């Protein structure tokens, strides 16, 4: 069994998947943090690996950039490979005044300017949200590890280079940060009765133009990757699937 985008056989992908945007980061995470990582996908270079973290089977799969890309990969993981939990790990641009470089943002909700929800034919505006159980696990781990973290709304934008200068309007609505994928992940999870969470290292501040150096970015990502893996572990040992 395989899909047009994923050559894995059923059973080769764990029930819990970490999902960075960059496939090379998926490889880095798998080879740095997992025991015996095995690559199950190379189609389009969108690498995916399965290994063990502290005894728990975990996969790491690149999502690519943007809502259409994560829409495809996460849908297939949930629907074709029986994945139950996806934790997106990424970078985001800070919008809120109190969100600083290197802080971790955990997305309770994901606003979007994308039309992804149109496919559901809803007579109103859908509010994509994280799995409460995964969110609770992540907050528990962040508290125990003294992480500087924020929980709240983010924006999943269809544009990286935006002509409209719209971020001030999102900031007024207390949106913490902007990235480009999570709303689709949350909608796929809702539609398929699965669990999703997204967490970010703030790599740049879009209101004042500050950004992390390459080394600072790596350190910040390291903290978040550990947070995501410990979240997966706590969720698994706590009785989640």
* The only residue of 62, 93, 220, 240 in contact with ligand HPA, by rule CB under 6 A: 93
Rounded to the nearest whole angstrom, what is the least distance from the CB of residue 165 to ligand HPA in the complex? 13
- Written as six digits, the tokens of 136 are 């609770």
Report the distance separating Cα 58 and Cα 51, nearest Å.
6
* Cβ atoms within 10 Å, residue 163: 6
Cβ proximity to ligand HPA: between 147 and 154 the closer is 154
Q: Is 208 near ligand HPA (CB under 6 A)?
A: no
Cβ proximity to ligand HPA: between 48 and 90 the closer is 90
Q: Give the SS3 label for residue 18.
A: strand
Report the distance separating Cα 26 and Cα 45, nearest Å.
11
Rounded to the nearest whole angstrom, what is the least distance from the CB of residue 240 to ligand HPA in the complex? 28
* The only residue of 57, 80, 158, 204 in contact with ligand HPA, by rule CB under 6 A: 204
Q: Which helix (H) or strand (E) is 15 found in, with range?
A: none
Distances (CA, A) of 196 to 102, 120, 172, 193: 22, 18, 26, 10
Q: Is 105 near ligand HPA (CB under 6 A)?
A: no
Q: Give the SS3 label for residue 228.
A: helix
Residues 63-92 that bind ligand HPA (CB under 6 A): 91-92
Cβ proximity to ligand HPA: between 117 and 177 the closer is 177
Active-site residue 204, yes or no?
yes
Query: For residues 200 and 224, is the Cβ–Cβ distance under 8 A?
Result: yes
Distances (CA, A) of 163 to 66, 113, 219: 17, 13, 32
Q: Residue holding tokens 């005044």?
A: 97
Q: Is 203 near ligand HPA (CB under 6 A)?
A: yes
Residues 153-182 as x/- pattern, contact with ligand HPA by CB under 6 A: ----x--x-----------------xxx--
Give the CB-nearest residue to ligand HPA: 93
Rounded to the nearest whole angstrom, what is the least distance from the CB of residue 52 to ligand HPA in the complex? 30
What is the total count of residues that contact ligand HPA (CB under 6 A)? Answer: 11
- Written as six digits, the tokens of 221 are 């990502």
Q: How many helices (DSSP H) and strands (DSSP E) are in the chain?
A: 6, 9
Catalytic residue among 103, 204, 222, 223: 204
Positions touching ligand HPA (CB under 6 A) are: 91-93, 157, 160, 178-180, 203-204, 206
Catalytic residue set: 204
């Amino acid at each position: 069994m395989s899909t047009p985008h994923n050559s894995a056989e059923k059973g080769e992908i764990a029930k819990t998947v970490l999902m960075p945007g960059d496939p090379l980061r998926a490889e880095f995470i798998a080879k740095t943090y997992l025991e015996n990582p095995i690559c199950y996908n190379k189609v389009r270079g969108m690498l995916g690996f399965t290994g063990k973290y502290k005894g728990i089977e975990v996969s790491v799969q690149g999502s690519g950039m943007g809502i259409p890309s994560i829409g495809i990969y996460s849908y297939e993981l949930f629907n074709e490979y029986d994945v139950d939990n996806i934790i997106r790990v990424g970078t985001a641009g800070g919008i809120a005044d109190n969100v600083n470089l290197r802080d971790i943002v955990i997305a309770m909700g994901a606003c979007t300017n994308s039309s992804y929800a149109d496919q559901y034919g809803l007579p109103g505006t859908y509010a994509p949200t994280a799995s409460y159980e995964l969110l609770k696990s992540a907050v528990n781990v962040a508290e125990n590890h003294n992480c500087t973290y924020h929980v709240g709304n983010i924006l999943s934008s269809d544009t990286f280079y935006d002509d409209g200068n719209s971020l001030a309007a999102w900031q007024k609505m207390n949106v913490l940060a902007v990235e480009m994928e999570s709303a689709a992940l949350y909608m796929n999870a809702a539609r398929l009765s699965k669990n999703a969470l997204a967490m970010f290292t703030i790599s740049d501040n879009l209101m004042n133009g500050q950004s992390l150096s390459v080394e600072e970015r790596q350190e910040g990502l390291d903290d978040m990757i550990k947070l995501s893996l410990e979240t997966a572990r706590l969720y698994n040992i706590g009785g989640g699937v």
